[in-house]
Amino acid sequence: MKAELSDLDRRLLNDFQQDFPLSSTPYADMARSLGVTEEEVLVRLHELKQAGAISRVGAVVRPNTVGVSTLAAIAVPPEKLEAVAAIVSGYAEVNHNYEREHRMNLWFVATAPDAARLHTVLDEITIRSGYEVLSFPLVEDYHIDLGFDLRWN
């Protein structure tokens, strides 16, 4: 992916992580500031999305303002990890699910419309996997999300 990025791609990826135009023709506005056509912007954004470099053009919502979310973890014996991970990933409410290097080795984020549904999901995972799910909901957030400054060198 990285080797194929053009200058236009790099600017599309880095310069519009915040303050995407809220105008009726946002892609045309971007194109104007980049000195290319609207068509080029749309085609490249579509291709970058297809390639997985972009997850979307859209909103990053503050945690727990719309819906309720938590970070949860399970200590799973290594030989059971794939099976338990598949159970966890199978829930539409789970948006991140990672193996991490620790005895507590499976970490996931679950978001549901309300607390009742979130608890149901965590309880079901406990029952179906046979391992205790520890939930660590957000207490205080110290980070201001300005996007991620990509460095190409």
Partner 1 sequence: MELNIIKHSTATSPRPPVDEADRRLLAAIQHGLPLTPRPYAEIGAQLGVSEEQVIARLAYLKEAGVIRRFGVVVRHHELGYASNAMVVWDVPEEQVTELGRCIADFDFITLCYRRPRRLPQWRYNLYCMIHGKNREEVLAHLEWMVNHCGLQTLPHEVLFSRRRFKQRGAIYTLPAETDGC
6 binds partner 1, rule: CB under 8 A: no
Write out the H or E segment, with its range, that includes residue 14: helix 7-14
Give the count of residues interacting with partner 1 (CB under 8 A): 82
In this structure, what token pair is assigned to residue 19?
Answer: 């303050």
Neighbour count for residue 113 (Cβ, 10 Å): 11
SS3 26: helix
50 binds partner 1, rule: CB under 8 A: no
Q: How far apart are CA 17 and CA 58, in angstroms?
A: 9
Q: Which of 33, 37, 95, 128 binds partner 1 (CB under 8 A)?
A: 95
Q: Which of 7, 59, 79, 127 binds partner 1 (CB under 8 A)?
A: 59
20 binds partner 1, rule: CB under 8 A: yes
Residue list 98-137, contact with partner 1 (CB under 8 A): 98-102, 104-105, 107-109, 111-114, 117, 134, 136-137
Asked whether the beta carbons of 110 and 91 are under 8 A apart, the reply is yes
Q: Give the nearest distance from C-beta 11 to partner 1 in angstroms.
A: 10
- The torsion angles phi and psi of 127, rounded to 5 degrees, stand at -70, -45
Between 66 and 123, whose beta carbon lies closer to partner 1? 66
